[in-house]
């Protein structure tokens, strides 16, 4: 019987000295010996060296062991954040070592996050990136520019196929390029790469700021690939609206319409506006994916965008698996949140949220009273920070009630006693809530 083994290092986040490497080697050898018996053997399919800086001298301590027991079998290689604090020349030497040792290994998952690659680092790691077995590639926060990402796109687009000089179609299933300053032209290179990825399941461009033209190139690449297998999509801080040319949101809608397997859609701070949110919601409603996470925060939703979200929550089957909804920092007023978010969540048997984010809107005490009178038992986290008019007393009652259900309610600590908490005004508030509750119950029948 073959036992699949993960080898990983532990210890403080520091530079691995030769003595440390020798101790790590002994631990690796002991791990393999523990699973190697007369009846079976150990097969190393995951190697995790992340979070510690590896100079060449320490890597050389492990090389013979890796060549004998790891290189031929490893499928997951985590080498994120492994050159921090090393002098540039030493960091480049370490990258060169990894590229040489693992360039022909059957690595399907490669994590290079948080390594300052730059132009020289990309050149050193190129043999590893050219590995045709790679299906999942993470390059978040690696300091790649427009020129570097163009080189990356060229490497990946020629990494598979019978003719190494002819791009494509790629077998890449996930690509993450978040937190890089790639620019418009770099985004266009990535868009060309995406057009060659018909099997893509996960794509993240979070906080890489492609601007409007770059965002258009990215979604056009996804559209051209005709991908239908997307499960995870993250465009945080990408600009979708504001220009006079082709609208990236229209193209995104087409991509979403072709994504019936999507479970996570992250579009925070994308400047979608009401019209853009409507297009996104229409794409979701068409595909009816099993969404578990939906983030539409900080998009200037307005009444129109909030209404579109309410339509999704109330009248389609798409959100029956929805567990996390972020609609914070949209400056939405109480009435719109009540009618389009809270009321559908309360009355729909399909929606069983565990996390709801509504911070940074313009909520008042009426919203909290509705949540008090109609508890949402599935919730485990409710965010209401930066809503300064909700009233301290009502917020405290809400926190106490939801704590009994295992839910944490987050509010600001410096809330003032709501002036509407005197008896006469509170009675008016309660009458308004009663009317809303009756409408919820009536429509739920």
Mind listing the pLDDT tens digit for each residue in 406-442?
A: 999 999 998 887 655 544 444 445 555 455 545 544 4
The answer on pLDDT for 93 being more than 70 is yes
The answer on pLDDT for 110 being more than 90 is yes
What's the pLDDT score for residue 319?
A: 62
CA distance 62 to 28: 9
Fold held by 77-86+110-444: 3.80.10
Higher pLDDT, 423 or 246: 246
Mind listing the pLDDT tens digit for each residue in 14-42?
A: 999 999 999 999 999 999 998 887 666 88
Please work out, in degrees rounded to the nearest 5, the angle formed at the alpha carbon of residue 147 by the alpha carbons of 142 and 149.
50
- 169 — pLDDT class (breaks 50, 70, 90): confident
What's the pLDDT score for residue 318?
A: 56
- Mean pLDDT computed over every residue of the chain: 90
Residue 273 CB: number of other CB atoms within 10 A? Answer: 18
What's the pLDDT score for residue 259?
A: 98
**Quick check: 221 and 195 in contact, CB under 8 A?**
yes
What's the pLDDT score for residue 211?
A: 94
**Pick from 107, 266, 309, 99: which is nearest to 176 by CA?**
266
Instruction: List the domain boundaries for the chain.
Output: 1-76+87-109, 77-86+110-444
The answer on pLDDT for 444 being more than 50 is no
Q: Identify the residue whose tokens are 């996804």.
A: 222
Q: What is the mean pLDDT of residues 198-211?
A: 96
């Amino acid at each position: 019987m073959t036992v699949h083994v993960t080898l990983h290092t532990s210890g403080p986040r520091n530079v691995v000295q030769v003595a440390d490497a020798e101790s790590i080697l002994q631990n690796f050898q002991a791990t393999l010996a523990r699973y190697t018996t007369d009846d079976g053997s150990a097969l190393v399919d995951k190697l995790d060296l992340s979070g510690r800086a590896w100079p060449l001298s320490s890597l050389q301590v492990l090389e013979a062991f890796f060549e004998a027991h790891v290189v031929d079998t490893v499928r997951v290689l985590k080498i994120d954040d492994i050159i921090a604090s090393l002098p540039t020349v030493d960091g480049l030497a370490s990258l060169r070592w990894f590229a040489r040792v693992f360039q022909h290994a059957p690595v399907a998952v490669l994590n290079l996050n948080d390594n300052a690659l730059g132009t020289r680092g990309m050149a050193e790691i190129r043999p590893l990136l050219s590995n045709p077995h790679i299906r999942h590639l993470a390059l978040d926060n690696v300091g790649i520019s427009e020129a570097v990402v163009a080189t990356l796109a060229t490497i990946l687009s020629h990494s598979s196929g019978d003719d190494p000089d002819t791009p494509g179609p790629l077998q890449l299933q996930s690509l993450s390029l978040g937190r890089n300053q790639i620019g418009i032209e770099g985004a266009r290179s990535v868009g060309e790469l995406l057009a060659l990825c018909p099997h893509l399941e996960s794509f993240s461009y979070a906080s890489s700021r492609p601007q409007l033209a770059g965002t258009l190139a990215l979604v056009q690449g996804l559209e051209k690939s005709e991908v239908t297998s997307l499960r995870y999509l993250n465009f945080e801080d990408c600009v979708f609206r504001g220009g006079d040319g082709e609208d990236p949101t229209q193209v995104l809608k087409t991509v979403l319409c072709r994504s019936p397997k999507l479970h996570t859609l992250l579009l925070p701070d994308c400047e979608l506006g009401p019209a853009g949110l409507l297009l996104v919601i229409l794409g979701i409603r068409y595909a009816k994916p099993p969404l578990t996470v939906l983030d539409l925060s900080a998009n200037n939703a307005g009444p129109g965008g909030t209404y579109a979200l309410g339509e999704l929550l109330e009248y389609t089957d798409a959100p029956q698996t929805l567990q996390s909804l972020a609609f914070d920092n949209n400056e939405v007023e109480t009435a719109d949140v009540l009618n389009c978010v809270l009321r559908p969540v309360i009355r729909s048997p399909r929606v069983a949220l565990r996390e709801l984010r509504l911070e940074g809107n313009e909520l008042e005490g009426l919203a909290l009273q509705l949540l008090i009178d109609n508890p949402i038992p599935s919730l485990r986290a409710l965010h209401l920070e930066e809503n300064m008019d909700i009233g301290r007393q009502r917020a405290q009652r809400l926190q106490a009630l939801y704590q009994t259900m295992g839910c944490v309610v987050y509010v600001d600590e410096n809330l003032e006693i709501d002036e509407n908490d005197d008896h006469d005004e509170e009675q008016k508030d309660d009458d308004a809530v009663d009317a809303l509750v009756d409408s919820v119950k009536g429509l739920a029948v």
